[in-house]
Each structure stands twice: as C-alpha cells, then as structure tokens.
Amino acid sequence: MNEEPSSFILNPTSDETGMRLDAYLAEHVDGWSRSRLQRLVENEDVLVNDRAVKSSYKLRDGDVVEVDLVEVPVARFEPENIPLDIIFEDDDLAVINKPAGMIVHPGAGVQSGTLANAIAFHFDLSEQSVEAQARGRVGIVHRLDKDTSGLIVVAKNDEVHEALSEQFRKRLVFKSYIALGHGPTEQNSGKDRGRDRPQHAQPSADEGRRHRPQCRHNLESA
C-alpha cells in the first residue's frame, strides 16, 4: 500500500500467524514507524476481532485487524536558522556541541530559540515519524540542562533513535562532565550520592543499609 486510507481492515494469511501484531503492522502500513504503530495499539486505534489487544499479541488464523490511522498534530515549534556547532555527522546521526544558555526542547512559555528549533532547520527530518516531530524531539536522544554546555546526540531516523535511546536506558553510554570551581577544597575526589530530597520527604534509612553512589568526581588544581 502506497497511500493508506484513514481506516482499513487487514486479514493476516496463514503464513503470518504467530507474528506479533506490531511487527505485522510495520510490514503492512507504509510510512509509519513501529513505535508509532504501537502507540495506535495502546490507544485502541487498532482492534483485532473487534477488541483491543496489546502490541505483543500473536496473530491467529482467521484474525481480522481493523486499523484507524489517527493523525498526529503537527509540530509545536518552527525551524529557526540558529548556528550549530556540529562535531560529527553522517547519514544516521549527528553530534552537536550545545552552548550554555540554550534550552534543548520547546516547553511551556518557550517555543523558539531552542536546540530543537535549530535542528529542525539544519537537518532533513523526512525519515523521522510525524509523531516524533510533533513531540518536539526531532531526533534528540538525551538532554542537557539549559546552563550546561556539552555534546548531544541527534538521530536522523526513528530506527537509530530507538537504538540509541535503548543504550541510554541501559546505561551503556559513558558520560563525563567537567565543572570549574573557585576556592579551597577539603578533598580531591569523592562520590556524589545524588540530589537530596526535600526535608519533609526524607525517608528513614534502615541501619546498615548501603546507598549506591550516583557518580564519582575528581578535582584538579590549576
């Protein structure tokens, strides 16, 4: 199918029994990524035998799959010609040096001047799903705070975005930060236990319980 109507019915063949529903849809619905199709299933815009199922549902002989391609709202931000410091780029991804002071994603009260606005202008997003663009992600795999400068990875298509996001979720990506400070220090290295909770939300720790450190830092004098 080159141009799918908004709603249609699919009849899996006997050779396709046992396939996951999302995998089956990915083979029969052109122009929609698997993650986007999974969202349709979650929203019950895909029915099997007139009932809602999960993306992991295994097709059976005689199943009737009804698909309603719900349109995703257009992007909430405009491409802007903002200069980018591109450290690396190929057909699948790019690595950008984000300056301090730049917000990564559009948000409440901020719809322009973000890294996402700049990426939308500089890169071809035709291979990225409309859903991803509508969320304002434009291939951005991870984030940095507004006041933090550093490298950000941008995926140019959904497949690379899903693969890189999985690596970040599984903590397979090593991240290193450098901070500048002024004044004397009591020690040159240590472990940070992470952000403290608000005082009223402090949990009571069991005696002898170990807390896993969040990161290690080393200090160098200049």
| Catalytic sites, residue numbers | 145
C-alpha 221 chain-centroid distance: 38
Which tokens is 127 given? 């291979």
Q: Which parts of the chain fold into alpha helices (H)?
A: 21-28, 34-42, 115-122, 130-134, 158-169
Q: How far is CA 137 from CA 74, 108, 149, 182, 206, in A?
A: 12, 15, 19, 36, 41
Which tokens is 98 given? 């984000």
CB 36 within 8 A of CB 22: no
- Our CA angle for 39, 43, 45, nearest 5°, is 95
Task: List residues bridging with 155 in a β-sheet.
Answer: 93
CB 42 within 8 A of CB 13: no
C-alpha 48 chain-centroid distance: 28
Q: Which amino acid is at 124?
A: D
d(CA 200, CA 117): 39
| Among 93, 94, 112, CA closest to 102 | 112
